[in-house]
């Protein structure tokens, strides 16, 4: 059962697609303090909290503070409170009562789950205007299912997007892309897509292609298509200000860009220097920007990633002027403890400055809103612009789309990647821990930059990360400019990489089938162990193993130099220790704790009792996977069936 409560005058987000009568009774579970705009709840010692989508820290969110305030922050450290997303749904798992809650407001929300006071959960609002949905059900999975039922079906990518994608900031020319594909093909490592980062554009202008570095782009796309390779270009939120650039000119003529209070267009800066931001919240601007994707779709492109859409702001013209003006005061001075730090703060305040998010406005549903009031739905609406347009410009074919910034509701139009992580062992664990909360909030097509985006990767880290990455729907190796190159073929043990990625392809029939079932039945694709074992106290402690779909559990290794790990089995399972899709040993492991060995090139998969895992012969491309080659690895599945979902993988 779901009840809706309304506080103040909430701004519509269109996250929920079902109509509800507003409940006039008092909000259950939390005490409401209207004056301060806070909800509070006492937590018993054993109570747990799950969800909140893409955030930092563990699977059980208790013990920290999380702020929904979409941020371009490339330092995903433990102490951070905000990442790129606001996915305000959580499940409260109390000793005697479990419930779900969706806090629907596009403004800033603070979830203080035992941070300020260890036994208190409080939810704070900058403006106490919100719709709150309270979900009650028979168990956690039922609560999640009901919630997913009111926010609309999750986005479905084309099946080829389950293949491996190689990315880099940036492949600088068509020849460099050719080389990547050649190298993969030479090594026999499967691959389906290559990502084009900002340098494919002409001076970072959206919907343009640099003619010199990518000459005759349309034919280049065709050439890649002929090899069954999909090129996936990036699109950024800011539109370069440049006379004669059609997107800029049209945006000005159509009045599609966000403006300041005085009616002037906001001048901000990102990669190309000065840009305007389209007002994605405005229906007309959204339709206009969405139709721009056609420029590339017409050239044969069938996948995109939307970036810098929190939005990231390097500086605004106004604030930069303020900084330069104030810098004068420090010139020639003997800077002491206070003035030195004030100076440092001043210079450090240039990018993503909170004041800048209060400088511009949106025309949304017939009203004018200051940006910070609707901040968390900006990226959502950029991706919605694309998603809505794809329905018009690609009526029969699905198009790959995922975004950096998001809000619940965006899951209907695309997936997400988890932004600028690092080549750190702890970020493999973070990736594992983010997946179930993303499943809860409907973001099924998700994944992180495998191998790590910033910092230099190492061969062992990349291998361990890949051993988890092969289970995430979005499986992409991406790294930043100036970091060590991390295409798989650059490392010593190519054979093992080939085998591990081959295993991914062998499992695509299963992963696609489970994905589609999760979409259609509002199920979670990644589940914490305790969601299926609610009465098992040990299962509640497990933060680094996940059920992936209905048949298997994974227990990835994410510690440097480890040759095994402890695994907790809530039930007796069959361990498959894969070196490749057809080279693996099996062992029945009884319920309980085990130390399970796994050499650097070995992937641990646990098949559940009475379930079956389809395994196909890997192929170079998803298209070539031979479904008639599928065999089933079962554990005690006498009389039980596996329903393998499949379709043509491309039609809408």
Residues that bind ligand GLC (CB under 6 A): 169, 197-198, 234, 307, 404, 419-420, 478
CB of 375 to ligand GLC, least distance (A): 18
Distance CA 261, CA 570 (A): 58
Nearer CB in complex with ligand GLC: 195/407: 195
Nearer CB in complex with ligand GLC: 387/419: 419
C-alpha closest to that of 101 among 57, 138, 140: 140
Burial class of 252 by CB neighbour count within 10 A (0 to 12, 13 to 18, 19+)? middle
What would the two tokens of residue 530 be?
């305790």
Alpha helices, H only, 470-589: 494-521, 529-532, 537-541
Tell me how many degrees the CA angle 551-552-556 measures, rounded to the nearest 5: 170
Contacts of 283 (CB under 8 A, 6+ apart): none
Q: What is the CB neighbour count within 10 angstroms for residue 347?
A: 11
Nearer CB in complex with ligand GLC: 172/644: 172
- Cβ-proximal residue to ligand GLC, closest one: 169
Nearer CB in complex with ligand GLC: 99/402: 402
Nearer CB in complex with ligand GLC: 115/169: 169
DSSP 454: B
CB of 430 to ligand GLC, least distance (A): 15
CB of 47 to ligand GLC, least distance (A): 35
Nearer CB in complex with ligand GLC: 169/533: 169
CB of 199 to ligand GLC, least distance (A): 8
Q: What are the φ and ψ backbone dihedral angles of 300, each rounded to 5 degrees?
A: 100, 0
Nearer CB in complex with ligand GLC: 449/523: 449
DSSP 570: S
CB of 214 to ligand GLC, least distance (A): 16
Nearer CB in complex with ligand GLC: 20/169: 169
Query: Quick one: residue 526, left, alpha or beta (phi over 0 = left, psi -120 to 50 = alpha)?
Result: beta
C-alpha closest to that of 144 among 51, 24, 216: 51
Burial class of 38 by CB neighbour count within 10 A (0 to 12, 13 to 18, 19+)? middle
Q: What are the φ and ψ backbone dihedral angles of 361, each rounded to 5 degrees?
A: -130, 160
Nearer CB in complex with ligand GLC: 49/234: 234
Find residue 120's DSSP bridge partners. 42
Report the length, in residues, of the chain: 652
CB of 544 to ligand GLC, least distance (A): 25
CB of 476 to ligand GLC, least distance (A): 10
Nearer CB in complex with ligand GLC: 169/642: 169
CB of 447 to ligand GLC, least distance (A): 12
Query: By the 8 A CB rule, do 49 and 61 touch?
Result: yes
**HSE-CB for 252 with a 13 A CA cutoff:** 16
CB of 454 to ligand GLC, least distance (A): 9
CB of 549 to ligand GLC, least distance (A): 28
Alpha helices, H only, 359-489: 371-374, 378-393, 425-440, 459-469
CB of 268 to ligand GLC, least distance (A): 16
Are β-strands 98-104 and 89-93 bridged in parallel, bridged antiparallel, or unpaired? antiparallel
**HSE-CB for 355 with a 13 A CA cutoff:** 12
Nearer CB in complex with ligand GLC: 109/268: 268
3-state DSSP percent of the chain in helix, strand and coil, to 5: 30, 25, 45
């Amino acid at each position: 059962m779901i009840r809706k409560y309304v506080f103040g005058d909430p701004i519509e987000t269109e996250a929920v697609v079902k109509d509800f009568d507003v409940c006039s009774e008092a909000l259950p579970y939390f005490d409401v303090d209207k004056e301060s705009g806070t909800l509070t709840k006492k937590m018993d010692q054993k109570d747990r909290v799950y969800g909140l989508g893409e955030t930092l820290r563990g699977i059980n969110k208790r013990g920290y503070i999380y702020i929904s305030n979409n941020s371009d922050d490339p330092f995903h450290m433990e102490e951070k409170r905000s990442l790129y997303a606001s996915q305000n749904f959580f499940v409260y798992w109390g000793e005697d009562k479990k419930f779900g809650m969706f806090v629907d407001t596009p403004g800033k929300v603070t979830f203080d789950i035992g941070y300020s006071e260890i036994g208190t959960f409080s939810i704070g609002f900058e403006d106490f205007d919100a719709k709150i949905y309270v979900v009650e059900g028979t168990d956690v999975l039922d609560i999640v299912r009901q919630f997913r039922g009111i926010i609309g079906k999750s986005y479905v990518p084309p099946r080829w997007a389950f293949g491996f994608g190689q990315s880099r900031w940036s492949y600088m020319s068509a020849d460099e892309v050719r080389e990547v594909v050649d190298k993969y093909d030479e090594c026999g490592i499967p691959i389906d897509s290559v990502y084009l980062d900002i340098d494919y554009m002409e001076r970072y202008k959206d919907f343009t292609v640099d003619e010199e570095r990518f000459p005759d782009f349309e034919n280049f796309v065709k050439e890649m298509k002929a090899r069954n390779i999909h090129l996936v270009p990036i699109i950024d939120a800011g539109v370069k200000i440049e006379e004669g650039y059609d997107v800029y000119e049209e945006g000005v003529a159509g009045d599609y860009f966000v403006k300041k209070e005085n009616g002037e267009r906001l001048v901000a800066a990102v990669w190309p220097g000065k840009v305007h931001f389209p007002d994605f919240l405005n229906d007309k601007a959204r339709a206009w920007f969405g139709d721009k994707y056609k420029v590339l779709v017409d050239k044969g492109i069938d996948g995109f990633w939307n970036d810098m859409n929190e939005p990231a702001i390097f500086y605004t013209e106004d604030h930069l002027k303020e900084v330069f003006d104030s810098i004068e005061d420090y010139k020639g001075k003997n800077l002491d403890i206070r003035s030195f730090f004030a100076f440092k703060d001043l210079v450090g305040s240039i990018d993503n400055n909170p004041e800048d998010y209060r400088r511009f406005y949106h025309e949304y549903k017939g009203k004018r809103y200051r940006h910070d009031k609707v901040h968390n739905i900006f990226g959502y609406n950029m991706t919605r612009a694309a998603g809505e347009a794809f329905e018009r410009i690609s009526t029969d074919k699905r198009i790959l789309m995922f975004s950096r910034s998001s809000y619940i509701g965006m899951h209907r139009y695309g997936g997400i990647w988890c932004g600028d992580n690092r080549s750190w062992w702890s970020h493999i664990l973070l990736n594992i821990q983010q997946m179930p909360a993303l499943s809860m909030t409907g973001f099924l097509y998700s994944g992180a930059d495998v191998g790590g985006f910033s910092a230099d990767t190492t061969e062992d880290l990349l291998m361990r990360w890949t051993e988890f990455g092969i289970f995430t729907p979005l499986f992409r190796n991406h790294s930043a400019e100036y970091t060590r190159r991390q295409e798989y073929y650059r490392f010593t043990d190519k054979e093992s990489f080939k085998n591990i990625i081959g295993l991914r392809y062998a499992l695509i029939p299963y992963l696609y089938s489970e994905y589609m079932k999760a979409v259609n039945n509002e199920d979670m694709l990644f589940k914490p162990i305790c969601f299926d074992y609610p009465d098992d106290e040990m299962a509640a402690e497990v933060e680094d193993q996940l059920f992936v779909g209905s048949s298997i559990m994974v227990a990835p290794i994410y510690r440097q130099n480890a040759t095994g790990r402890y695994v907790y089995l809530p039930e007796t399972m069959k361990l498959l220790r894969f070196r490749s899709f057809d080279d693996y040993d099996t062992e029945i492991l009884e319920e309980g704790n085990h130390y399970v060995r796994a050499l650097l090139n070995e992937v641990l998969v646990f098949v559940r009792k009475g379930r079956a895992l389809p395994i196909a012969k890997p192929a170079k491309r998803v298209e070539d996977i031979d479904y008639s080659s599928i065999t089933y690895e079962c554990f005690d599945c006498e009389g039980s069936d596996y329903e393998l979902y499949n379709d043509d993988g491309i039609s809408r």
